[in-house]
């Protein structure tokens, strides 16, 4: 029972990261029609920024949680503004290939600078230790990750569905030219969206740093799984991306209990099954 709950917890944690990352991917894809392969690299950048801030500036977890996403978001904005936006009129595969190249460049650079093995990052003092919930022992940081990511996901959803800015985003996703003719600066909106997506990835990275090791390879390991998550969930729906992320994380965690050998491919298997019976994805709104 302990093992079961323990794995469920891990599943929820992984699910938190899957949800955050597929949320960012879905937002970027929705408006820019680009699959941001560099999303994993931006996640890695977030974790590395946190580590660098600590190692070189003595800035801990809490400042990192704010600074890293902003920094990575800014880098993303520059990339979008100078390079990515030239690809919008082309076949979407070029966006994928460009961001793939970007991911390789970022990962390669950090692998060159810091080697392939990971650096440890300490759990922040305020969140260290654990509590005994009676039916299981809950490490506080793990609980924090789940709660915080849930808050961020729902908060993002609220911004998109319920605010004016969100309505600009949703409208621009449907008909960017018409929205521009209304006088709304859609090009800026595009930059902002990419930056926001990158920042979300980086935020996930900071959250991940104390749990997984901070390694240049952490991005590419996770991005392919996140791709499978968005195929299952469909990218047309923000809430769909979030829910699917948590669901598949839990599925992965449970598989580890009952059939551990399959745990690293279970999400792909689920993807294959969903493709067979419901090709549009669980929440598919787009083709």
What is the rounded end-to-end Cα distance, in angstroms, of the chain?
42
Instruction: Tell me the C-alpha distance between 3 and 194, whole Å.
Output: 40
Where in 145-174 is the site for another protein (CB under 8 A)? 164, 167-168, 170-171, 173-174
Residue window 184-213: x/- pattern of binding to another protein, with contact defined by CB under 8 A: xxxx--------------------------
Q: How far is the CB of 182 from another protein (least distance, A)?
A: 4
Any idea what DSSP says for residue 16?
Answer: H
Q: How many residues bind another protein (CB under 8 A)?
A: 60
Where in 85-114 is the site for another protein (CB under 8 A)? 86-87, 90, 92-94, 96-98, 100-109, 111-112
- Give the CA count within 13 Å in the CB-facing half-sphere of 126: 4
Q: Which two tokens stand for residue 198?
A: 């990158």
Residue window 218-247: x/- pattern of binding to another protein, with contact defined by CB under 8 A: --x---xx-xx-xx----------------
Q: In terms of CB distance, is 97 or 257 closer to another protein?
A: 97
Residues paired with 214 in a beta bridge: 119
Provide the H-helix boundaries in the chain: 2-32, 39-57, 61-82, 92-114, 140-162, 164-174, 176-181, 186-208, 218-233, 238-258, 266-277
Q: Which residues bind another protein (CB under 8 A)?
A: 35, 83, 86-87, 90, 92-94, 96-98, 100-109, 111-112, 164, 167-168, 170-171, 173-175, 177-187, 220, 224-225, 227-228, 230-231, 261, 264-265, 268-269, 271-272, 275-276, 279, 287
């Amino acid at each position: 029972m302990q093992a079961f709950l323990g794995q469920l917890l891990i599943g929820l944690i992984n699910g938190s990261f899957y949800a955050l990352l597929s949320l960012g991917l879905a937002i970027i894809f929705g408006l820019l029609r680009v699959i941001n392969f560099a999303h994993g690299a931006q996640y890695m950048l977030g974790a590395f920024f946190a580590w660098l801030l600590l190692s070189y500036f003595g800035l801990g977890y809490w400042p990192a949680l704010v600074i890293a996403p902003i920094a990575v978001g800014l880098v993303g904005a520059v990339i979008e503004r100078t390079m990515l936006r030239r690809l919008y009129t082309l076949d979407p595969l070029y966006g994928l290939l460009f961001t793939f190249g970007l991911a390789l460049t970022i990962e390669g650079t950090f692998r060159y600078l810091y080697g392939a093995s990971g650096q440890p990052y300490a759990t922040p003092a305020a969140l260290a230790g654990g509590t005994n919930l009676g039916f299981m022992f809950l490490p506080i940081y793990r609980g924090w990750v789940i709660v915080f990511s849930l808050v961020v996901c729902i908060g993002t959803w609220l911004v998109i569905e319920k605010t004016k800015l969100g309505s600009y985003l949703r409208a621009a996703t449907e008909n960017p030219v018409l929205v521009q003719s209304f006088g709304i600066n859609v090009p800026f909106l595009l930059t902002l969206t990419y930056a926001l997506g990158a920042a979300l990835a980086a935020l996930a990275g900071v959250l991940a740093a104390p749990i997984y090791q901070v390694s240049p390879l952490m991005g590419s390991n996770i991005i392919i799984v996140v791709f499978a998550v968005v195929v299952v969930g469909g990218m047309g729906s923000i809430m769909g991306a979030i829910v699917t992320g948590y669901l598949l994380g839990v599925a992965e965690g449970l598989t580890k209990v009952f059939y551990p050998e399959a745990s690293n491919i279970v999400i792909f298997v689920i993807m294959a099954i969903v493709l067979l019976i419901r090709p549009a994805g669980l929440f598919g709104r787009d083709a």
